[in-house]
Amino acid sequence: MKSPDPRARLVELAAAQGTSLAALSAYLGRNPAYLQQFVRKGSPRKLEEGDRRRLARFLGVDEAELGGAEEISPGLARSALALRGDWVEVPRLALGASAGPGALAGDEAMVGAFRFSAAWLRGQGLDPALLSAIAVAGDSMEPTLRDGDEILVDRRPRGWRDGVHVVRCHEALLVKRVDLSAPGRVTLRSDNPAYPPLELGPDEVDLVGKVVWKSGRL
């Protein structure tokens, strides 16, 4: 049987997941035009192994469909195919967003995944390629977020706006309520009144993403 064209297959799979090539490029940590150039200009000629593996896992297909060698067993292949179009695995990253004094952002290695309905994510206006799950550490955002809660972070590029966000400040990753009421300043507030607000200039803090969902033990 003829192998599928990996470029055409990538376009088809992205459409089935309701995501874009630009968003998938960002998921890989590449510039937004990376996969568009691969599809339309043939540059690069083949996806790098690490990029292909991540895309295949995210899209729920064998690497062979994206130009790699078929290496997984038939049983695993059936499990992956069952995810296609219906379910999305959002990566859970090995770092925490501190809801306390702050913690260093470590290596963003994947340590698991949360499975979501692709239709539900689309209904929420979320692009699965731009989502990550991380754990909350600390009590400064109680009662909204508790220590150990898992949060879903939408990393879609957007300007500053009010709401609960994950931010990077002085090498620490924080989850805080952003307040933009002070002109030219970004105020990071805690829902726990025991913690004072932190007022910063826009150049002192980087926006990582908006918190759009949480889960935790009762």
pLDDT tens digits, one per residue of 8-45: 988 988 887 778 888 888 888 888 889 999 998 888 88
Q: Which part of the chain has CATH 1.10.260? A: 6-84
The pLDDT tens digits for 143-154 are: 999 998 999 999
Of 93 and 179, the structure prediction assigns the larger pLDDT to 179
Structure tokens at 116: 């979501």
Coil, helix or strand at residue 89: strand
Q: At what angle do helices 49-59 and 6-17 cross, to 10 degrees?
A: 40
CATH of domain 88-215: 2.10.109.10
As annotated, the residues of the chain forming the CATH 2.10.109.10 domain(s) are: 88-215
Question: Per-residue confidence at 123, pLDDT binned at 50, 70, 90?
Answer: confident
Kindly report the pTM of this predicted structure: 0.63
Question: Topology of 6-84 in CATH?
Answer: 434 Repressor (Amino-terminal Domain) (1.10.260)
